[in-house]
Amino acid sequence: MNRSAIDLWVGIFVAIGFGAILFLALKVGNLLTLDRTPGYHLEASFDNIGGLKLRAPVKAAGVVVGRVEAVRLDPKIYDAVVTLRIDQHYEFTRDTIASINTSGLLGEVYIGLDAGGDPVMLKDGDRIRKTQSAVVIEKLISQFLFDKASSGAGGEAAAPGKSVEKPAGETKK
Amino acid sequence: MSAELTAGVAQVLRRIGGTVTGAVSKLGFVSRFLLAVLWHTPGAFRRMHLTLREIYFAGVLSLVIILMSGLFVGMVLSLQGYETLKRYGAGEQLGILVALSLVRELGPVMSGLLFASRAGSAMTAEIGLMKTTEQLAAMEMMAVDPLARVVAPRFWGGVISMPLLAALFSAFGIFGGYIVGVPLIGIDAGAFWGQMKAGVDFWPDVTNGIIKSFVFGVAVSLIAVFEGYDAKPTAEGVSSATTRTVVMSSLAILALDFVMTVFMFRGASVV
């Protein structure tokens, strides 16, 4: 094996090696998606964020428009404050509702944004006023069971139609 | 009776002590050896063709085994992973499973093990045989430092080849997973790539895989050249050094992998 043939083979090897790293970075990983696109930050506070993780998607009508960038606990009112990074292309009205949803029963947890009709748009650093917390299935079940029990014990007093059940994901004002 | 007992205990303690001192002195020797190799590195890089030759032997000639193993590991991973994911109705998540397991763990570890047995053993045998046939001594006689001429190029050839081989292993594994997942099982190609992109981060997943493979490259190459240099200059000595290279580097890879995984992915949010 003479020297120039070895050089050629090593060159090919190094080139396809770096090609593989590039493939892992761009095609498999998300090096160039959303992180580099210019964006702005919004905040939203929730009673309970459930299984929300960092970098979870923020979706509006099912389209990913941003990512969860930070989650912290407000030490005064014990609410979870979530910082969202939204793609610069998208603007949301001031009365947008942020809710924590799960895609499917076991799917990923994401934040859904439902825009309203307010003419004023949210700006960088604004806080989303209306939020809906994560639905905790255990709470739902226990509420359902207690409701059943109380309506069974109360007889006609609590009619089945007007249950006093409070929805878990109560809209905060 | 009691004198015999004391003598027996002393014997056991002496053996333990001997083992420990032996291990510590060997560790010191390895560290000094590494420093010496690094010290001679600029000299070795001045004759770049030596290192390129070693990259050829360690890297290019390992390509076939690495690429084939990667392809088959990816295919098996895809088949088995789908069987499990299907039970939870999460078959679409196959892309994440295949990509994360390959990029984080299997790529660096499997290619490290293959590299140790394919290239590391060859390095040890070559250097050990050079020592046995007194070529290293002859070089010293001619005022050529064997560390710069023989050891450092092999060390760097291994260190440079290893991350590239691991990346190729992962890439081909993902390709194999794609072959089984999309055309064979019938998962939607968009879901496969899309879920993968959503679940795998360049930082920390891909970069940590690269860091791991680099560390494995240093460990395997160091063990291989050291065992060769330290081999007893007999046929038996070379053969046992080659065996030790494979055993020690495999254990080193698995232990280092555990330690690095603990530190790298402890705080990371999973998917």
Taking all residues of chain A, what is their mean pLDDT, rounded to a whole number? 80
Q: Which amino acid is at A58?
A: V
* pLDDT at residue B127 is higher than 70: yes
CB pairs under 8 A between A and B: 94
Taking the Cβ of residue A16 and every Cβ of chain B, the question of whether any pair is shorter than 8 Å is answered with: yes
B contact test, residue of A4, A10, A105 with most B CBs within 10 A:
A10
Quote the pLDDT of residue A123. 86
> Chain B contact for A70, CB < 8 A?
no
Contact A33 B197 (CB under 8 A): yes
Question: Is residue B76 packed enough to be buried (19+ CB in 10 Å), middle (13-18) or exposed (0-12)?
Answer: middle
Out of A1, A13, A30, the one facing B201 most closely (by C-beta) is A30
Find residue B248's DSSP bridge partners: none
Place of tokens 């040890």: B124
Chain B residue with minimum CA distance to A2: B53
How high is the pLDDT of residue A2?
A: 80
Assess if residue B16 is contained within a domain.
no
- What percent of chain A shows pLDDT beyond 90? 12
* Residue B225 falls inside a structural domain: yes
- pLDDT for the residue numbered A158: 45
Instruction: Residue A135: name the closest of A87, A168, A157 by CA.
Output: A168
Q: B271 CB near a chain A CB, below 8 Å?
A: yes
Return d(Cα B209, Cα B102) in angstroms, integer: 9
Secondary structure letter of residue A158 according to DSSP: S
Sign of CA dihedral B181, B183, B186, B191: positive
Query: What's the burial of B15, exposed, middle or buried (CB within 10 Å: 0-12/13-18/19+)?
Result: exposed
Q: What is the pLDDT of residue B270?
A: 46
Does pLDDT of A155 surpass 80? Answer: no
Q: Could you tell me the end-to-end alpha-carbon distance of chain A, in angstroms, rounded to an integer?
A: 77
Is A24 in the B-facing interface, judged by CB distances under 8 Å? yes
Cα–Cα distances (Å) from B190 to A2, A60, B95, B186, in that order, read 46, 20, 10, 11
CA atoms within 13 Å, Cβ hemisphere of A142: 6
Query: Tokens 């020797």 correspond to what residue?
Result: B29
Q: What is the pTM of this model?
A: 0.76
Backbone angles phi, psi at B143, to 5 degrees: 60, 30
Residue B119 to residue A44: CA distance in whole angstroms: 55
Q: Does A153 touch chain B (CB under 8 A)?
A: no
Helix extents (H) in chain A: 3-23, 137-154
DSSP code for A90: -
Q: Which residues of B touch A58 (CB under 8 A)?
A: none
- Rounded mean pLDDT, B69-89: 93
Q: Which of A145-159, B12-26, B136-150, B202-216 has the lowest mean pLDDT?
A: A145-159
Q: Is the confidence at residue B256, as pLDDT, over 90?
A: yes
Which residues in chain B have their CB less than 8 angstroms from residue A23's CB? 171
- Whether B197 and A55 lie within 8 Å, measured CB to CB: no
- The residue of B54, B60, B270 whose CB has the most chain A CBs within 10 angstroms, and thus the best one to mutate to test that interface, is B60
Report yes or no: A106 at the B interface, CB cutoff 8 Å: yes
pLDDT digits (tens, 9 = 90+) for B38-78: 999 998 888 889 999 999 999 999 999 999 999 999 999 99
Q: A residues 107-136 near B, CB within 8 Å?
A: 107-108
CB contact under 8 A, A13 and B59: yes
pLDDT band at B220 (very low <50, low <70, confident <90, very high): very high
- Alpha-carbon span B78 to B215, nearest angstrom: 27
| Residues of the domain holding B200 | 40-264
Q: Is B167 on the interface with A (CB under 8 A)?
A: yes
Q: Is B253 on the interface with A (CB under 8 A)?
A: no
Chain B neighbors of A7, CB-CB under 8 A: 49, 52
DSSP string, chain B: -HHHHHHHHHHHHHHHHHHHHHHHHHHHHHHHHHHHHHHTHHHHHHSHHHHHHHHHHHTGGGHHHHHHHHHHHHHHHHHHHHHHHHHTT-GGGHHHHHHHIIIIIIHHHHHHHHHIIIIIHHHHHHHHHHHHTTHHHHHHHTT--HIIIIIHHHHHHHHHHHHHHHHHHHHHHHHHHHHIIIIII---HHHHHHHHHHH--IIIIIHHHHHHHHHHHHHHHHHHHHHHHHS-SSHHHHHHHHHHHHHHHHHHHHHHHHHHHHHHSSSSPP-
Phi and psi of A131, rounded to 5°? Answer: -130, 155
Q: Which of A35-39, A91-95, B216-220 has the lowest mean pLDDT?
A: A35-39
Segment B208-222 mean pLDDT: 95
Assembly ipTM: 0.85
Interface contact B108, partner A, CB < 8 A: no
Domain count, chain B: 1
| β-bridge mates for residue A109, sequence order | A102
Single-letter amino acid code for the residue at B112 = G
Q: What are the chain A neighbours of B115 within 8 Å (beta carbons)?
A: none
- Closest residue of B to A12, CA-based? B60
List of chain B residues whose C-beta atoms are within 8 Å of the C-beta of residue A30: 197-198, 200-202
